[in-house]
Amino acid sequence: MQPTSEQQTPGVEHPALTARTFGCMGTVISLAMPSAAAAAGTLPRTNVTEHPIEAAAGAVERVFAGLDGTFSLYRPASEASRLARGEITLREASQEMRDRNAEAAGWRLLTAGAFTPERPDGVLDLSGIIKGHAIQQAGDTLRASGFRDWCLNAGGDVLVGGSPVPGSRVSWQSGIVDPTDRTALVSAFPLGGCSRFSVLATSGSAERGEHIWTAGAGRSAFLQVSVAATDIVTADVLATAIVAGGHTMLDRAADEWDVEVLAVLGDGGLLATPGFRS
């Protein structure tokens, strides 16, 4: 992500970014920082030659791996898989599992069932909120370790800190992939810097294929939905709920939460709240 020409600050040199990527939770996670900001972090180095971003990316990866090890239904030994096989009950599960289940159940009520923590076969699947928690916890780790300016992207769900131009109010630009052509963007949205929003979550088929269960019969009215918010779990849940719940859920989200929404219709058309149209 780079600052756009409209956001260029006179007299400010726009630095190159340093980035690292890794795979987890069935997607690709990337951490990017202005090169100078990456060198100023305080995370301990594992050896004298290691660049600080290597330690930062390692810390982020450990957060994701830890949650994936507990909640992934693709890992036979995970707690989630043991629950799915009936080897343990929810009452016997860890406090973390019970807390996330209660949170997901709360979101089901708030979205009138558009968001659900169960798969169609009845298996508990908390992936709809766990990636958001991983992103949030990773961001907390970066801030606690002294990094102020960074962009964390997990499969199209983005959380930023600070600015791509350290010490300025220039915003990061989060590009939104066209679900019909992954080499193109349908829009971009400013995060961090002078923007009041710091997160953007996108749900649909562009990143992970068909993985959302629609409310009621038939296919969703939307190929993809992006939600900008101040909290990554809220953004991720609402993006998923709008894909599942269609126009009714989009209207509900826009009315009841402080968010901006961009939805890609089945014919490629766009619906957007005012923040995306400005």
Q: pLDDT value at position 277? A: 73
Q: pLDDT value at position 8? A: 41
Q: Residue 271 pairs with which residues in a beta bridge?
A: 263
Q: Which residues of the chain have pLDDT under 50?
A: 1-13, 48, 208-211, 213, 217
Q: pLDDT value at position 50? A: 58
Strands in the chain per DSSP E: 17-24, 27-34, 150-154, 157-161, 172-178, 181-191, 199-204, 222-229, 260-265, 270-272
* Residues in the chain, total: 278
pTM of the model: 0.88
Q: pLDDT value at position 108? A: 97
Which contacts (CB < 8 Å, 24+ apart) does range 97-104 have?
Answer: 97/70, 97/71, 97/126, 100/71, 100/126, 100/129, 100/130, 100/133, 101/126, 103/129, 104/128, 104/129
Q: pLDDT value at position 16? A: 87
The alpha carbon of residue 95 and the mean position of all alpha carbons in its chain are separated, in whole angstroms, by: 24
Contact 193, 7 (CB under 8 A): yes
Which contacts (CB < 8 Å, 24+ apart) does range 71-76 have?
Answer: 71/97, 71/100, 71/126, 71/127, 71/130, 72/25, 72/127, 73/123, 73/125, 73/127, 74/26
Cα dihedral sign for 136, 121, 97, 241?
positive
Count Cβ atoms below 10 Å from residue 75 Cβ, excluding itself.
Answer: 13
Q: pLDDT value at position 137? A: 98
Q: Which domains are present in the chain? A: 16-277 (3.10.520.10)
Q: pLDDT value at position 45? A: 53
